[in-house]
Amino acid sequence: MMSSTEDAQQGTFRVAAAALVGSALEWYDFGLYGLAAGLVFNKVIFVNSDPTVATLLAFATFGVAYFIRPLGGLIFGRLGDIMGRRKILVVTLLVMGISTTLMAFVPTYAQAGIWSPVILVLLRVVQSIGAGAEFGGAAIMSVEHAAARRRGMWGSWPMVGIFLGGVMGSGAFALVASLPEEQFLSWGWRIPFAASALIIAFALWIRLRIPESPAFVEAKPDQQKRTVAPLSSAFRHEKKGMFVLFGTMVASNTVVYLNVFLPAYLTGTVNLAPSVAPTAGVVASAATIVTLPLFGALSDRIGRRPVVLGGVAFCALSIYPFFWIVDGTRSPLWITVALVAIFAIGVSAISGPQAAFFSELFTARARYASLAFSREVAGATAGGLTPLIAAALVAAGDGKPWLLSVYVVAACVFGGVVLALGPETRGRKLEALTIDELRGGSRPAEHAARARTTATGRAD
């Protein structure tokens, strides 16, 4: 028979696994759509136009998701603060997963005419609404179930899922893309989308077996008395936390989404083989999966802010050397090594502690809405637009990346200044219902959590 400590450890592991699988599904879905937009949808869905226009329309439906996602963060984040994290995570999983699976059955333009792109765009909108609250809920559940001294490590799992999902999506699409073109365009591309159903089933099985967040359960009596909407409360009382989150994500997204621009730059400007960028991206993602929990654990020891600030500084200092290696060597090996360094060190240091850091910025009654909404707003402003801005800056620099490098450094400086002015959050009391209680509880909350662990047998 298991002890209460062993049972608690298994419970924390199940919650982290549920968060990882959900995040992996989210970015598997988004990765698939991004690849299909450039390889399939411009040929079978948006075909009643010039080929260039068709490609732009396909990518426009990819980019629109980033402006829809804040709506999902607002709607489901608010419900998550009122009804509970677990219930909403099941709903977002189903909304996101079912809409992706249905994309496998979208008729082509030849079959349905104008209804073909209409159906695809509607499914994309629904998918984005579900995805807008997925990471926020997964991060919060992972952190709220973990012991105070291990929140950074356990909270890194949803971020691991993001990079794992990207690798899975690229791998699945690469397999079907190897089919003869006629088969690929007729039915092959549909297989990875249909396979989402398997991930949904597995993720749903895990999520239905996890308990509700302890922080939400403790705060729930207050929820029944409260009439103020969580996001309204956050705008009034928790603006600083939302701004710190926004600034951090501006720096992070600007660097991460360069990876979307990189294939076009390496093939169109540097004249390298089309396989170089995807290969380097997969290797960098795989390395990042390994280092994310390490930086999360480091933030448990020395604090969230120094680790995240270190990552931002590393990215700012690395962007010029990165493009010097790309343009100067034109070596696939050295380009891969440079990209691995930026992602496995810089991006991992920013992202590993994110779930714990962001969760600790907000009170229990406004955490889900505040985190999900402000994170997705940052994604809309400094995520989905980054590839377009990068292309425009390189064009303005006559094919040279120096203006793009300035832009990346500026984003990192902005994020670094916001972080430096923000609070250290390690050990804050996640059950706090007021800002004063939250801000005053950093170190005491950590000691209190250890005392509760000793008294109740709840472990990390």
CATH classification at residue 227: 1.20.1250.20
Mean of pLDDT values over 139-165: 91
Give the pLDDT score at 54: 67
User: What pLDDT sits at residue 200?
Assistant: 87
Min mean pLDDT across 37-51, 235-249, 252-266 is at 37-51
Q: What is the pLDDT of residue 191?
A: 94
- Indicate the SS3 state at residue 274: coil
Instruction: State residue 234 phi and psi, 5-degree precision.
Output: -65, -45
Backbone angles phi, psi at 452, to 5 degrees: -65, -35
What's the pLDDT at 452?
43
Q: Terminal CA-to-CA distance of the chain, rounded, Å?
A: 19
Residue showing tokens 């960028």: 277
Number of Cβ atoms within 10 Å of the Cβ of 285: 23
| Residue among 385, 375, 438 at smallest CA distance from 76 | 375
Residue 326 predicted with pLDDT over 90: yes
pLDDT band at 5 (very low <50, low <70, confident <90, very high): low
pLDDT band at 336 (very low <50, low <70, confident <90, very high): very high
- CA 87 vs CA 40, 59, 80, 96, 211: distances in Å: 35, 33, 8, 14, 10
Burial 401-432 (b: 16+ CB within 10 A, else e): bebbbebbbebbebbbebbeebbebbbbbbbb
Average pLDDT in the 94-115 region?
91
Contact 226, 372 (CB under 8 A): no
Higher pLDDT, 228 or 372: 372
pLDDT for 59? 67
Q: Out of 44-53, 140-149, 221-230, 312-321, which region has the weakest mean confidence (pLDDT)?
A: 221-230
Q: Of residues 26 and 286, which shows the higher confidence score?
A: 286
Say which residue, 98 or 12, is predicted with more confidence: 98
Q: How far, in whole angstroms, is CA 418 from its chain's centroid? A: 20
Higher-confidence residue of 274 and 231: namely 274
pLDDT confidence tier of residue 265, bands split at 50, 70 and 90: confident
With bands split at pLDDT 50, 70 and 90, how would you rate the model's confidence at 321? very high
| Summary mean pLDDT of the chain | 85
Residue spans of alpha helices (H) in 342-439: 348-351, 354-359, 367-382, 386-396, 402-421, 435-439
Scan for tokens 């009596």, then name that residue.
Answer: 221
Residue 244 near residue 423 (C-beta atoms within 8 A): yes
pLDDT for residue 459 = 40
pLDDT in tens, 396-422: 899 899 999 999 999 999 999 999 999
Q: What is the pLDDT of residue 353?
A: 96
Overall average pLDDT of the 61-68 stretch: 78
Alpha-carbon distance of 30 to 83, in angstroms, equals 27
Please tell me the predicted confidence (pLDDT) of residue 10.
Answer: 67
Count of domains observed in the chain: 1
Q: How far is CA 415 from CA 141, 255, 315, 358, in A?
A: 26, 12, 11, 14
Higher pLDDT, 374 or 267: 374
Q: What is the pLDDT of residues 119-148, one digit of tens each?
A: 998 998 998 898 888 888 889 999 998 888
453 band by pLDDT with thresholds 50, 70 and 90: very low
The per-residue DSSP string of 84-106 comes to -HHHHHHHHHHHHHHHHHHGGGP
pLDDT band at 37 (very low <50, low <70, confident <90, very high): confident
8-state DSSP, 213 = P
pLDDT value of residue 328: 92
Range of the domain at 418: 4-456
What pLDDT, on a 0 to 100 scale, did the predictor assign at position 226? 52
Reported confidence tier of residue 432, pLDDT bands at 50, 70, 90 = confident
What confidence tier does 458 reach under pLDDT thresholds 50, 70, 90?
very low
Do the Cβ atoms of 35 and 166 come closer than 8 Å?
no
**Residue-wise pLDDT tens digits, 201-249:** 888 888 888 888 887 887 765 554 454 455 676 777 788 899 999 999 9
> pLDDT at position 159, please?
93
Look at residue 39 and tell me whether its pLDDT is greater than 70: yes
- Statement: residue 355 has pLDDT above 60: yes
Percent of the chain with pLDDT over 90: 40
Taking residue 126's Cβ as centre, other Cβ atoms within 10 Å add up to 18
Question: How many beta carbons lie within 10 A of that of residue 260, not counting itself?
Answer: 18
Give the per-residue pLDDT at 292: 97
Name the token pair of 173: 């699409």
Look up the pTM and report it.
Answer: 0.85
The alpha carbon of 304 is separated from its chain's Cα centroid by a whole number of angstroms, namely 18
Answer whether 156's CB lies under 8 Å from 355's CB. yes
